[in-house]
Amino acid sequence: MRKMLEFSALVLAAWLILGLAGCSDGGGSSGGGGGGENTTISFESFSPPSIYVDNKSGERLVAFKESLNPTNLISGIPAYATNHGLAKSNSLFNKTGDFALILITEAQYNQNKNNIVAADVFAEIYAFYNHEATNNNRYQISSKSGGSGRIILKNNQTSWNIEIHKDGPTGEVLGYIAAQTTNTVLRVNAPDTYRLYPVFKKYVASEKEIYEVIPKYTEDGGLAAQPYSKVFVLDANGTTTWDLSELVEIVDLTLPLSSFYLRIVNNSGTSIMVFRGEEVLLTSTGLSSTAQGSTNVYSIRLTRNPDGTYPASQEISGLKIGTSAMMVSVPSNTYGGGYVYTITVTGTHESNLTLGEIQESENPLNVEVLTL
């Protein structure tokens, strides 16, 4: 039977893994970010960082933003570093947005200092920097990256970035192919066998959200509703190709039914937060507060049914909006998966906040429409 896919998507809650910055290995200088050709690479862990990384590889790596250009150099990453903070220079990190985190080995950097674009890329990771909040996002560098095997990703003709995960849609990221890109090479360890899972991601600036889409099988049988995957077997120094147009031709880029989306329009005189019980909710980009005069969207997951599926709608209470000192309860309401619910907040002070009526969108949110 032909395998058909559907997209099950959710707003990706930003990976908010708190902790101390990883320790320094003592290498390099105290500088980092936006360097020139003669820059000494700092391998210290910076605080506050642009982003955090976990390096599961045994290589000392040098990080660049967007391209292998001396002016785009961020800083170094020791082998096996955990919670390591990359430098945050004003020249590279001065606005919110997603970007390609390009990694090369220290050996490649030293070998190609005078022509850095000639260096072999170790791995390329889809990353995000938030200029409006503390950056606790942490990105993993796989122990399988940078090897002699090659997986050529071809024909991403969508407006989405496609991450490639191993062993599951939440497994280690081997790399990604950017939107509207013809081909990208994943360098991986070989010989080895890989079961790879594509995950579509897009940052929508107007919503301050990163949306994620996971393709799943729709056919009857053992694979129904399972995340789509493909197996690749690589010999030593082997090369294979994955034409991603096979996915794109049969997918639907609408949002899923696993979450609903709470849009907060803050017309009050103070910054406000959204609480679920005692928990402070975060946007996918790491924002906890909605500043006065601003709008944020929060993804709230529905509770699964006993069989693991999500209900079409669910009554939810316990939401509150306000400050840590003063909160206003959101009336109990039935929320439909994929729909957007807007609440406008007014008041001159935290002591007199007023919540408008909950306004439900006519249709489920469609990420493609948001980009028009």
Which residues partner with 138 through β-bridges?
A: 52
Tell me the helix, strand and coil percentages in the chain, rounded to 5. Answer: 5, 40, 50
Examine the pLDDT at 219 and tell me if it is beyond 80: no
Q: Are residue 214 and residue 173 in the same domain, yes or no?
A: yes
Asked whether residue 303 carries a pLDDT value surpassing 60, the answer given is yes
Between 32 and 283, residue with greater pLDDT: 283
Domain shared by 86 and 224, yes or no: yes
Q: Taking residues 36-46, what's their average pLDDT? A: 80
Last residue of a domain, one of 219, 248, 277: 248
The stretch 210-221 carries a mean pLDDT of 72
Q: What is the CA radius of gyration of the chain?
A: 22
Per-residue model confidence (pLDDT) at position 368: 53
Asked if 139 and 51 count as a contact pair (C-beta separation under 8 A), the reply is yes
Considering the domain architecture, whether residues 294 and 216 belong to the same structural domain is answered as: no
Structural tokens at position 259: 């979450």
Token pair listed for 351: 């002591």
Half-sphere exposure for 316 (CA within 13 Å, toward CB) = 22
Question: Does residue 107 share a domain with residue 173?
Answer: yes
Residue 17: pLDDT band (50, 70, 90) is very low
DSSP code of residue 31: -
- The three-point CA angle 179-183-187 to 5° equals 110
Regarding whether 341 and 215 lie in a shared domain, the answer is no
Looking at the structure, tell me whether residues 160 and 302 fall in a common domain.
Answer: no
Contact 187, 152 (CB under 8 A): no
My answer on whether 185 and 47 are in the same domain is yes
pLDDT tens figures, 137-187: 889 999 999 999 999 999 998 888 999 999 988 899 999 999 989 999 999
Looking at the structure of the chain, the number of domains it has is 2
Cα torsion at 295, 368, 92, 271 (round to 10°)?
A: 10
Count CB atoms within 10 A of the CB of residue 160.
Answer: 24
- Encoded amino acid at 352, one letter: N
212 contact partners, CB below 8 Å, separation of at least 6: 9, 10, 11, 12, 199, 200, 201
Amino acid found at 187: R
Which residue range forms the structural domain that includes residue 324?
A: 259-370
If one compares 108 and 200, the residue with the highest pLDDT of the two is 108
Q: What is the DSSP letter of 227?
A: B
Q: Tell whether 15 is covered by a domain.
A: yes
Of the pLDDT bands very low, low, confident and very high (cuts 50, 70, 90), residue 37 is: low
Three-class HEC string of 88-100: CCCCCCCCCEEEE
Tell me the percentage of the chain whose pLDDT exceeds 70: 81
Predicted confidence (pLDDT) at residue 261 exceeds the cutoff of 50? yes
In the chain, where does DSSP find H-type helix? Answer: 106-111, 245-248, 367-370
* 283 shares its domain with 344: yes
Tokens of 40: 């000494």
Asked whether residue 163 falls in the same domain as residue 296, the answer is: no
Bridge-based pairing of strands 327-329 and 279-280 is unpaired
